[in-house]
Amino acid sequence: MASRVEEYRGCDHFEIPIEDPAYPESLRELSDPPECLYGIGNRELIESPSLAVIGSRRATPYGLAVASLAGRIAGEAGITVVSGGAIGCDQAAGRAALKAGGNHVVVLGTGADVVYPAQGADMFGLVASGRGALLSIAPWGTQPLRFLFPKRNRVIAALSRCLFISEAGVPSGTFSTAETALELGRELICAPGSIFSPQSRATNQLISEGAGCIVDEDSLEVAISRIFNTLRFSAGAREGLPPLSRDEQKIIAALTSSPERIDAIAHMLGVGIVAALERMGALEGDGLVTRLPDGRYATSEHALHCMTTFGQNGW
């Protein structure tokens, strides 16, 4: 059972029934708008210009980096980030937005006073304290219920002027969220991924069907500036990559396209398994690669951010 946090008692709690004039007009556009909104935090942010950022719960370092990038750009542009608060891309985007000085609205599939997932407790506490709002269509104390999550996805789409999907596989709840966004006339943009990555099948498919394609940080910033008619107030300080050898550059470039197992990396470099493990250990120690739960290696979120900023020639 998901827990309820006592710290929320000191935060602003609110309920907005559908007959209340304060009920968000964007939600009235839904064919079946929720009868009541339950929330904790700054209720005014519910109707602020918002970018929804969603993606896979089992995100790769690439997906996390893209979600973080979107959250940071939105935060620096003064745009509220809306997400479902799920593990993976949702939380990455929300944390990045808050770190950049922005705000975050989390639409939960539980009661607004229930911490789920538990890994988001620290972020939810910050949001509830006024840096955003925890929002739910379910009464206080409601535990996670499967049927609530598709309904909350519709609310995420409705609250936002634009929906950005950072990474998603098939099957995925992102399709229903994307369908709602398109039904309501919201803009849909996605980050493409490797055709060999199962976690990018949904985003690649949506792009093939007409969703906007985000190819780099500049294109995402331009899209946000166009949609919200605003500019970022700070690009933030960024730390570059350390100098890399040709073999190390080759590894990073390959892993950015698709995570690989150590035997494939050894074959690519023309070295033995032991030598390949030593090189990967060094790169992992520098924070440039990470090892996935299935044993494959992938480019780290830090390296991906640096590559976006400085480019591979900056090595």
Q: What is the pLDDT of residues 55-87, one digit of tens each?
A: 999 999 999 999 999 999 999 999 999 999 999
Q: Packing angle between helix 262-269 and helix 273-285, nearest 10 degrees?
A: 100
Can you give the chain as a three-state secondary structure string? CCEECHHHHHCCEEEEECCCCCCCHHHHCCCCCCCEEEEEECHHHHHCCEEEEECCCCCCHHHHHHHHHHHHHHHHCCCEEEECCCCCHHHHHHHHHHHCCCCEEEECCCCCCEECCHHHHHHHHHHHHHHEEEEECCCCCCCCCCCHHHHHHHHHHHHCCEEEECCCCCCCCHHHHHHHHHHCCCEEEECCCCCCCHHHHHHHHHHHCCCEECCCHHHHHHHHHHHHCCCCCCCCCCCCCCCCCHHHHHHHHHHHHCCECHHHHHHHHCCCHHHHHHHHHHHHHCCCEEECCCCCEEECHHHHHHHHHHCHHHC
Q: How far apart are CA 249 and CA 227, in angstroms?
A: 36
Q: What pLDDT, on a 0 to 100 scale, did the predictor assign at position 34? A: 97
pLDDT tens-digit map of 91-148: 999 999 999 999 999 999 999 999 999 999 999 999 999 999 999 999 999 999 999 9
Average pLDDT taken over every residue of the chain: 90
Query: Which candidate, 157, 159, 120, 147, places its Cα nearest to that of 3?
Result: 120
Mean of the pLDDT values across residues 196-203? 94
pLDDT higher than 80, residue 244: no
* pLDDT band per the 50, 70, 90 thresholds, residue 195: very high
Residue-range domains of the chain with CATH: 3-228 (3.40.50.450), 246-314 (1.10.10.10)
CA gap 221, 48 in Å, rounded: 19
| 235 — pLDDT class (breaks 50, 70, 90) | very low
Question: Quick one: pLDDT at residue 314?
Answer: 46
**Residue bearing tokens 């998901």:** 2
> Which of 41, 287, 102 has the alpha carbon at shortest distance from 94?
102
In angstroms, the CA 225 to CA 77 distance is 8
Residues in a beta bridge with 298: 290
Angstrom distance (rounded) from CA 208 to CA 76: 30
* Confidence at residue 8, expressed as pLDDT on a 0 to 100 scale: 83
Q: Is the pLDDT of residue 3 over 70?
A: no
- Cα separation of 210 and 11, whole Å? 42
Q: What is the mean pLDDT of residues 154-178?
A: 94
Q: Which of 76-85, 205-214, 230-239, 240-249 has the lowest mean pLDDT?
A: 230-239
Q: Residue 6: pLDDT band by 50, 70, 90 thresholds?
A: low
Question: Taking every pair of C-alpha atoms in the chain, what is the biggest distance, in angstroms?
Answer: 69
Across the range 179-196, mean pLDDT stands at: 96
Could you tell me if 186 and 54 are in contact, meaning their C-beta atoms sit under 8 angstroms apart?
no
Q: For the segment 16-32, what is each residue's pLDDT rounded down to a tens digit? A: 999 999 999 999 999 99
Name the pLDDT band for 220 (thresholds 50, 70, 90): very high
**pLDDT reading at 313 higher than 80:** no
Note the pTM of the prediction, 2 decimals: 0.78
Give CA angle at 46 (7, 132), nearest 5°: 35
Pairwise CA distance, residues 203 & 175, whole Å: 9
Q: Tell me: cis bond preceding 171? Omega within 30 of 0 counts.
A: yes
Between 55 and 237, the more confident residue is: 55
Tokens of 30: 């839904």
- CA 207 distance to own-chain centroid: 18
117: preceding bond cis by omega (within 30 degrees): yes
* Structure token digits, residue 308: 């976006």
